[in-house]
Every structure is written in structure tokens, then in C-alpha cells.
Structure 1
Amino acid sequence: MDQPVLVYALTALAISIPCFYIALILLSPPPIITRPSEKKYRSHSAPNAPRALPSLSDAGSVDLSVIIPAYNETARMPSMLATTIAHLTTPALKNSRTHELLVVDDGSADGTSDLALKLAKEHPESEIRVITLEKNLGKGGAVRHGMLHARGHRLLMVDADGASRFEDLELLWKAMDGVAPKNEPAVVVGSRAHLVKTEAVVKRSVIRNILMYGLHTILRIVGVGHIRDTQCGFKLFTRRAAQQIFPAQHLATWIFDVELLLLAKQLGIPVEEVPVEWHEVAGSKLNVVKDSLQMLRDLLVLRANQMTGRWKVDVGSIPKM
């Protein structure tokens, strides 16, 4: 290589590396901040007297925590909560598995928190804690907040729309018993991959299915191709897995599920995938084109931050149980 060409190449490299790093900093989301009011919850027994939330770093005190992120969900949440509570209070489970429900209102403008408190009063058989975020963070931010303040030995994230069949929790629970019988770090994810050829998926719009296949291709590239369905909002974590994963989560947007699975892979936490039933529910907050482009951007930002070491897991800070 001629010396002028070599000098030009080195100069371009010297300029491009700092530019890339600066662009990465500008594109990366800011740290997720928890405000004082968000460290408290309300319940049917004290709707006007917020109480302090516990910490994920504490020892677990109930068998199951159900974390429900909710953004403007007054229309869909009542049915979902009724189905959830009906299952958790069946005779087979009522006396054998303690539980709590954490409804995390992600800055809603439709009275989601007030409705959740009303429903909590109507269902005193289940402890429902309502947490209200001052500003909309995104689904990932709401899930993270609920996880960081849950008491369960096992923690389930589930969407407020009721699209997943809640009774399939028992499939995830059984799989967790197999992979983590003593609640070692483990994750079990609900999967809709078996539904790809069924009406539930075939009847969706062409563009939505094209984007779905495109996302799967990208996920294989970034390192989670071993999970056939990363985006199903039905995932079960042991407490020890949650303690390692959620404090290290950075993304609050739709693609946060991928970050959780990449963190699990990085930490050597086993992930089991279990087929579950699912159906489309009207009223989705997802803007297919806009949010798909945001997912792509966030995936690139996520991998770039992990590969450059800007986002890394501080294993030494993980609480021991």
C-alpha cells in the first residue's frame, strides 16, 4: 500500500472511531430514573396512603409475583385481571401457592391506576399492588420497575391485554420445576412459534408478518436465534435470575425482551421455551412500521453498547441469596 493511501486510511479510521462512539452515546437511552413517588404502591386496603415498596434484593416472601405493565388499559385490563385471579385462586392453587399482583401504570392518561384500585377492592382474595409511574417509560421500563420491587420467589411478566392464556402459567411453572427445582437462576419463556401457520398469525396483515420474519432474521444475527419467540409477553423468572438480569436492563422500549434474553445468555442463565396459547386482542399500542424501525435502531444500539463494553453486567454487585 502506498504511503499516502495508508496515511489516508489511518486518518479516516482515527476520525470514524470517535464519531461512531459519539453517535452511540447520543443514540443510547438515558439511565432509567425512579422518582420518589414511584417507590410506593397503593392497595385496596390503603388507596390513599401509599406504602413503601420492597426491593428485589430482599429475600422473597411469596411464591409468585405477577407483574402487569399497563398503559391506558381501562378497556382490556378488567377481563385480564378477572381471568388471572380466577386461576390463581382455584382450590388447587389457593392454599398451595401464595401470590401478589403488581399493576405498573406506565404514565396512563385514562385512569388505569384508579380502575386497578377499584378492581383490587372487588378482588380482596388477591393482593393487588398498584404502582403509578409519573411519566410513560415504555413497556420495558414498566416491567423492569415491577420486577425490581416484587416479592416473589418466581416472577411472571404478563401483558394487560389478556392475549396470553393465563392458565398456561402451569406449563411454565412445570418447566421451571425441571430446569430450576431449587429456584436457581433460570428463565422460562412462553412461545407462540407453534402458531405461525395458524389463523392467529395468518390473518394478520401482510406487512406485520413480513416485519415479523425480518425481526427473526435480525435476532439470529445478534445472538438470540436459539429462542424462536423473543417477544411473547409471558415470561417467568426465578428470583435469583431476576436479581441478575433486571438491574442490568437499559432498554425501556418494545425490544427490551431481547436485551433480557441476551443478558441471560451472557450470564449463563438457562432459558427454556414453552409453547403457549395466544390470540390477538384489539387495541394494541404497537405502531407496526414506526415501532419496528425503533426496534431495529434499539437492537443496533444494544449490540453496539454490549460489544464496546459500555453496557456490561457487574457480577460483583449481584446480591447473594
Structure 2
Amino acid sequence: MTTEYSTTRTSAYTAHITDSLGITVSPAGIQSGSNRLDVDFVIPVYNEEKDLERAVTTLSMYLSGLRDAFGTTLHETHAASFTWNILIADNASTDSTWDIACTLVQRDSAHVRAIRLDRKGRGFALKTAWLTSPARVLAYMDVDLSTGLEHIDSLVGPLLASEADVSLGSRLRADSTTTRSAKREFISRTYNLLLRTYSGARFSDAQCGFKAIRADTFRTLLPALEDNEWFFDTELLLLAQAHGFRLHEVGVRWIEDPHTSVHILDTVLKDLRGMQRVKRSLSQVNFPSTSIRSVERRRDPILRGSLVPIQLLVSVA
């Protein structure tokens, strides 16, 4: 059952979080209205002064029904069927990202909020942003908007309808359409193969920056979520699967951002270490044999163990 948060309780809780974690909240960034919020779309950013305004404007106009997923202005509006907000989570940017975020909040305080953290880490930014949100469903997407916005309804719909607990975009399903380099394609497929063979993952793509989770599910998993960087996504999915939450995958249209700032080798090494840690942690917990389930029933056989010892990969990397 989803936990309800009154405006007063949410404001008090947010104040506690901002005091304890050193968060700056844009002056108009916390809504005072009493309307129920269905979905918060978090955009985590670090030094994204060039892309932030475009991303927030594009997403806002799409959700308002003013433009389609390809940026074309619509003559007839088709607004989202749910209430929504966009939450900018600036994790210690050193450029003008925060100033731009504050301007965007002032321009549309009804739909845009912003928080600034004093430390880096995408996982940390998402944890904090989701903790300060009063929404029933917590979502996020990368600032480059590589994933087609037309998939938003498929992402959040099952969560709002209580048909799933976690929803994730996948670039590796048969119904997905992707445009990216051979190098990134190879790395992604290899990593997700390791997840299936070593960690027993039942999902096809852990790293697509297009995910959503029910607020009550997130708060259940939060105490066990240790990673504050790029492995956060994978850890969230593995824990959700182990606890028996229902996972829903969405095949997506995805176009690679050639200017991504992700350091691939460093991220891969941290991901491998994270896989070791989570497997060790989950092996110490006795889950009911019927606890692992998924909304997706069509799955390839899951291979147990690993084709290549993960310890060897970590040492080589």
C-alpha cells in the first residue's frame, strides 16, 4: 500500500533531510499545494549548463501535451493523464547549472523544483531527490534525453495502476531501437550478460537511464541501497528482484549522446566490485523460494554461476 504524505509532513521531512545532508533548495522549489502528486521525474545533473534548459523544457512541453516525442509542436494538446513534476537534482556542479535550475523553477514553479547537493554521485542525487518527493511514483531520466519520451506512459502506467513495483527501460529487448557505437554496444551487452550469469538477473538492461519505482517500494529498499554512484541502478534492480517486487521492462527508442561524460573503464571496475558486494550480501539473506517474480514471463533460461570468475575480471581491470 502506498504511503500518503500530507503537505505539512512532507515539508517537515524535507527540512530534516536538507539540514542533515547539506541540500540547498531553490526558493520556489517546494510546492505548497495540496493536490496529490502522481509522478516526480528527477533529472540528476553535474555541470550540465549546456543541456539542462533544453532537457527540462522538452520534457515539460511533452508532458503538457504541447510537443510530441520528436519535438514537433502539436495543434491539439494531449497532456499526460497523471499529475507530474520535474525535479532537478544538482550534485555539486561547478558551472552555472544551479543558476539555470533556479531560473527554470522561477519560470514554472508549478511543475519544476530543484535541489542542490554538496557532493557528487548520481546514486546519491537520486536517493536524496526521491526522499524529498511526495509523489506516488519516483522516476528519473538522463539529462541528454537519449530515451524517447513516447515511452513515459509505458514506464509509469503499470506503477500508478499497482500492476508493478519497479519499471525500467531496456535497450536490449527485441522491440527496442538503439543508435550507438559498437564499443558501447559491446560493453553494455557484456555487462548485462555478466549480470544474468553471475548475479542471476532476470532483467535485460540494468543501465538504461530511464527508470521508475513506487515510492513505498523505494523506501522499503533504501536501507539496503549502499551505492551512491553509477552502480545504484543495478543494485536497485537486484535488490528489488531478490525481495520479490514486480519488475516491468519497456523496450525503448534510444540514441547515444556522443558527448557523454561517463568514464567507462572506471565505471566498469566499480560495477564489477558492486556485483561482488551485492551477491555476497544477498547470499547472507534467506529469501522465500517464491519471492522472486517478474511481470515479464517470457525470459531466456537463467544461467547460474559465471562464465568468467568475477574476481578475475576485477583484478584484470
The TM tier, using the shorter chain, reads: 0.7 to 0.9
**Post-superposition CA distance 1:206-246 (Å, at most 9, x none):** 3x333223212220134353211111111121222222123
Alpha-carbon offset, residue 66 of structure 1: 0.9
Which of 25, 40, 64 is the matching residue for 1:41?
25
Superposed, 1:203-218 pairs within 5 Å as: 204-206=181-183, 208-218=184-194
* Partner in structure 2 of residue 82 of structure 1: 57
Which of 124, 134, 147 is the matching residue for 1:164?
147
Task: State the one-letter code of the partner of 1:88.
Answer: L
Alpha-carbon offset, residue 130 of structure 1: 1.1
**Post-superposition CA distance 1:87-144 (Å, at most 9, x none):** 22124336x42222211111111121111111223334x42211111111x1111111
* Partner in structure 1 of residue 309 of structure 2: none
Which of 184, 189, 193 is the matching residue for 2:172?
193
Task: State the one-letter code of the partner of 2:179.
Answer: A
* Partner in structure 2 of residue 93 of structure 1: 79
Paired with 1:270 and 1:197, the residues of 2 have a C-alpha distance of 21
Task: State the one-letter code of the partner of 1:67.
Answer: V
Which of 294, 308, 312 is the matching residue for 2:270?
294
* Secondary structure, aligned partner of 2:58: helix
Alpha-carbon offset, residue 39 of structure 1: 4.8
* Partner in structure 1 of residue 119 of structure 2: 135
- Of stretches 217-226 and 290-299 in structure 1, the one that deviates more from structure 2 is 217-226
Task: State the one-letter code of the partner of 1:237.
Answer: I
Residue pair 1:60, 1:151 contacting (<8 A) in 2 also: no
* Partner in structure 2 of residue 277 of structure 1: 253
* Partner in structure 1 of residue 6 of structure 2: none
Task: State the one-letter code of the partner of 1:219.
Answer: L
| Residues matched between the structures, number | 257
Taking structure 1 as reference, are residues 301 and 289 closer, same or farther at Cα in structure 2, changes over 3 Å only? same
Give aligned-pair identity as a percent: 26
Q: TM-score, normalised by structure 2?
A: 0.72
* Secondary structure, aligned partner of 1:278: strand
* Partner in structure 1 of residue 96 of structure 2: 111
Paired with 1:184 and 1:151, the residues of 2 have a C-alpha distance of 20
Q: TM-score, normalised by structure 1?
A: 0.71
**Post-superposition CA distance 1:247-285 (Å, at most 9, x none):** 431101212111111111122110010111111113212
* Partner in structure 2 of residue 246 of structure 1: 222
* Partner in structure 2 of residue 121 of structure 1: 106
Kindly name which structure, 1 or 2, has the bigger radius of gyration based on alpha carbons.
1
Residue pair 2:159, 2:166 contacting (<8 A) in 1 also: yes
* Partner in structure 1 of residue 240 of structure 2: 264
Gap regions ≥5 residues in structure 1: 1-32, 54-58, 310-321
* Secondary structure, aligned partner of 1:152: coil
Residue pair 2:166, 2:214 contacting (<8 A) in 1 also: yes
Taking structure 1 as reference, are residues 258 and 199 closer, same or farther at Cα in structure 2, changes over 3 Å only? closer
Alpha-carbon offset, residue 153 of structure 1: 1.2
Alpha-carbon offset, residue 74 of structure 1: 1.0
* Partner in structure 2 of residue 236 of structure 1: 212
Paired with 2:105 and 2:64, the residues of 1 have a C-alpha distance of 14
Paired with 1:256 and 1:40, the residues of 2 have a C-alpha distance of 23
